[in-house]
Structure 1
């Protein structure tokens, strides 16, 4: 970390949006300022090295004008320059998730040449795959594809963006990517699902995988307008503001008051009197923002990522309280942490923090309620400044093959209805105590 770019008494540039990955976070600020913090071992922070950052740090040397979108995958990051009509990506490159035509890690933002000149409406990143919706409503996908999550009709990974032919003649409005599945909402309000479907997370009424997008049966005659994916569950919102979830619910992440999986979209009755305006899915938790600025969270809460003030799992929505009852403008779920910024432009973080992804300058799991990120917030105490990185190219990086360094999370048994042993915050062999999802081999 080099020179601080803002004096302690000066308010930082206003936040435009936030996003969160497995163990890193990003924020786009007014004036085309891009900040990242948290785990950096794969280059996902974009600072030119593999160092963690415990506080928000400006990416220097990234001169792309008109950045309008920044989205985190698990261990990589993408951004879109509207002025240039150019997608950028950086971070862990295995399986082609960066779209550069190879599997090399990238430590500073680099243009995805295959997408140059294409007007992008939206980007979505999952664990190891990415998608883009064009302004014309077409969908391109790239990255890992072992369960068909790219929607291309195969299980072959793709190192470069490819058009999903199944959507020919169908205009897509929005996409969302989970760990190994994908969902989309069309301009006509239809939901589609594809990829890994063992927990019903495709919404198609069964537990089968799909290699191409398949339409979900209509939900109570409602048209859908929003969609988001957690690791193995899916969230969608109708034009009336009703919230629906489906898929895996071992930790209550569907919000239906129980721990039962749902194979088709099911309305979250606890929020039936509220109009949901934004949704986000974490590894095993869910957040929903209502039109009146209230934030609700539920699901796995071992690290306090739900934000309800405890560490107990919640199978029904719990309201998250903010200082002075500030209304929330945006929320973003990481795997085990959550970010939000309020209408007062204050940024808050809570949950898992052992890689610095909370931006508080610490590496501890301390927060189960929202805590202001000082360096990004006008109401912060001013003790931490917005840092800037030198962005020196990390030329000495040694590439390690996916087969050597990728360790899959062990398969879990599909819980049968009424299987109490599979519920709640108890032992789960597939939940790592730390955030390491893969093994590296020392050279």
Structure 2
């Protein structure tokens, strides 16, 4: 038995050494205005330039998603958050995206703890350290009212009193705690009547296409430096996701927390609350959202009575993702839940309505979903058999279907099989 233990230790040591020897090459493409002098998009992959700060550009741990006109990655070993690609004259904020230009540099997070996960929205970033501390910065409505841990801005500093005065605007707006009974089922039904839905849909139709060309302003007074996100005692965050103006965080016990803008239901609180100024627990497995009194087809294909709905859905959340104004989570049973903006069918429920609470995507209940990602107008997910499904807006061919038609459901949107 001791011999087996020694062999196992030797094998683990060899695996660690092999991991240390691995070198990863990072490629970039798309809109990174600080990379090229003429600020044209990179239409094909190019290697990321080596940084001048001594960080090995090949020693990467992860490449992070999101970011409006800038790129972000995590270095191996030191766990530094690296940013690059933004430009001063393109309405981008140093407080959010870090150094402007083509050379990657560490972003000055006020901690020496290695970063293990990070994500970016249109104009905000959120990261998780090895000690499960969550830091966020950027556009102020995306940053919870919390303790300020760094006072800096482009070419100067942000005074603590000034920051608290400016951020008080967030705390004065509606939050779940201040709303109290407004989040009850009866009041939600009253708020979300048919007339309100139609009015909101017309408004979003007019403004949706403007969002692509209208990122948040770069005025530093609208941006907040890194702060620690304060959660309930004992909560340990292991993963984060950033939408256009909202953030989700996943804990080690499978709970999901959210904050930021929730006007289309992307925070899953059952209402169109615009600003959630502090992290709020999202009831992802609330039976009222999944028809507890109705039958449900389980992933195995059998009809499940309403009393067994919870078992079929799963008991905790294992993956989270954010689109521009919608969100998606995956349960331990491989069930996909979506919520938020639905104008282009990006929630996969067969219609274009907004979804105010986490709702099961019933057309995929016979498929175990392993991963999901969201764009501004569309969503993509991967099943355990290697099939990729897409749904939502398809104006630019982002669904990969060979057509330009939108799709509000998964059923006819299988685009490829990754297992051959």
TM-score range (shorter-chain normalised) is: 0.5 to 0.7
Return the match for 2:46 from 54, 57, 61. 57
Shift of 1:70: 1.4
Where in structure 1 are there 5+ consecutive unaligned residues?
1-29, 328-342, 344-443
Look up the match of 1:79. 73
Q: Which has the higher strand share?
A: 1
Q: Which residue of 2 aligns with 1:176?
A: 241
CA deviation vs aligned residue, 1:332-352 (integer Å, no higher than 9, x gap): xxxxxxxxxxx8xxxxxxxxx
SS in structure 2 at match of 1:108: coil
Structure 2 vs 1, CA of residues 120 and 168 (structure 1 numbering), >3 Å: closer, same or farther? farther
Indicate how the Cα distance of structure 1 residues 47 and 61 shifts in structure 2: closer, same or farther if over 3 A, else same.
farther
Query: 1:283, 1:161 → 2: CA distance?
Result: 25
**Structure 2 vs 1, CA of residues 67 and 168 (structure 1 numbering), >3 Å: closer, same or farther?**
farther
Choose the corresponding residue for 2:280, options 214, 226, 239.
Answer: 214
The answer to whether residue 268 in structure 2 is matched with residue 279 in structure 1 is no
Tell me: CA distance 1:96–1:166, structure 2 relative to 1, closer, same or farther (3 Å): farther
1:4-403 aligned within 5 A: 31-41=23-33, 43=34, 46=35, 50-62=39-51, 63-64=56-57, 66-71=59-64, 72-92=66-86, 94-98=92-96, 100=98, 105-114=100-109, 117-145=112-140, 147=141, 149-152=142-145, 154=167, 155=170, 157-208=222-273, 209-219=275-285, 220=287, 221=310, 222-317=315-410, 318-322=412-416, 325-327=417-419
The answer to whether the 8 A contact 1:256-1:268 is kept is yes
Describe the SS at the equivalent of 1:273. Answer: coil
Considering only CA atoms, is the larger Rg found in Structure 1 or Structure 2? 2
CA distance in 2, matches of 1:53, 1:95: 21
Aligned-pair distance for 1:259? 1.1
- TM superposition shift of 1:65: 5.0
Is the CA contact (8 Å cut-off) linking 1:251 and 1:313 kept in structure 2? Answer: yes
Q: How far, CA to CA, are the matches of 1:223 and 1:242 in structure 2?
A: 10
Contact 2:25–2:57 (CA under 8 A) maintained in structure 1: no
Instruction: Compute the displacement of 1:169 (Å).
Output: 2.8
Moved over 6 A (4+): none
Q: Which has the higher contact order (CA 8 A, sep 6+)?
A: 1
Structure number with higher helix proportion: 2
What CA distance in whole angstroms lies between the structure 1 residues aligned with 2:38 and 2:105? 14
* Aligned counterparts of 1:159 and 1:47: Cα–Cα separation in 2: 28
Deviations 1:62-109 (A, max 9, x none): 434520111241211111112122111123373445464xxx633321
Q: What secondary structure, in the 3-state scheme, does the structure 2 residue paired with 1:270 have?
A: helix
Alpha-carbon offset, residue 54 of structure 1:
2.2
TM-superposition CA deviations, 1:235-276 (whole Å, max 9, x none): 000111100000110111000011111111000001101111
